[in-house]
């Protein structure tokens, strides 16, 4: 009986604990100084600018987990969308966007 009570307590604690966010989720300071929010949207992660001239604009969509992602990213100033990838290491998000898979540009974003 005590074993059942302990098992029930462990199950209750597991069910009531908040789910851990994926490392990519949160607010990030972009290279140009704006704040971008990355959050779960469906089974993906959406990137939306929160500050700056293009605040409110969704500029990306990524899939992946555990620090490695791929998808698309849009340069809002040029309104051009690139295939991209992202990786998280600590409080740094390395974003990479490519045209035709060969002309690439990278920038690092800092977690806020």
Q: Is residue 41 part of a domain?
A: yes
Q: Is residue 91 part of a domain?
A: yes
CATH of the domain at 44: 2.40.128.520
pLDDT (tens digit per residue) in 17-37: 445 678 999 999 999 999 999
Q: Is residue 105 part of a domain?
A: yes
Q: Structurally, how many domains does the chain consist of?
A: 1
Q: Is the pTM of this model over 0.75?
A: yes
Residue 46 host element (H or E): strand 44-49
> Could you tell me if 73 and 81 are in contact, meaning their C-beta atoms sit under 8 angstroms apart?
yes
Q: Is residue 14 part of a domain?
A: no
Q: Which domain range does residue 90 map to?
A: 23-111
Q: Is residue 28 part of a domain?
A: yes
Contacts of 66 by beta carbon, 8 Å cutoff, 6+ apart: 22, 23
Which of 10-14, 18-22, 33-37, 45-49 is predicted with the least confidence, judged by mean pLDDT?
A: 10-14
Would you tell me how many other CB atoms lie within 10 Å of the CB of residue 9?
Answer: 10
Looking at residue 17, its pLDDT comes to 40
């Amino acid at each position: 009986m005590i074993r059942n009570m302990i098992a029930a307590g462990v199950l209750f604690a597991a069910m009531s604990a908040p789910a851990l966010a994926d490392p990519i989720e949160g607010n990030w300071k972009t290279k140009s100084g704006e704040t971008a929010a990355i959050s779960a949207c469906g089974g993906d992660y959406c990137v939306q600018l929160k500050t700056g001239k293009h605040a409110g604009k969704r500029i990306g969509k990524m899939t992946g987990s555990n620090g490695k992602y791929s998808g698309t990213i849009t340069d809002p100033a040029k309104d051009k969308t690139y295939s991209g990838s992202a990786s998280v290491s600590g409080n740094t998000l390395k974003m990479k966007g490519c045209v035709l898979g060969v002309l690439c540009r990278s920038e690092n974003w800092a977690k806020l």
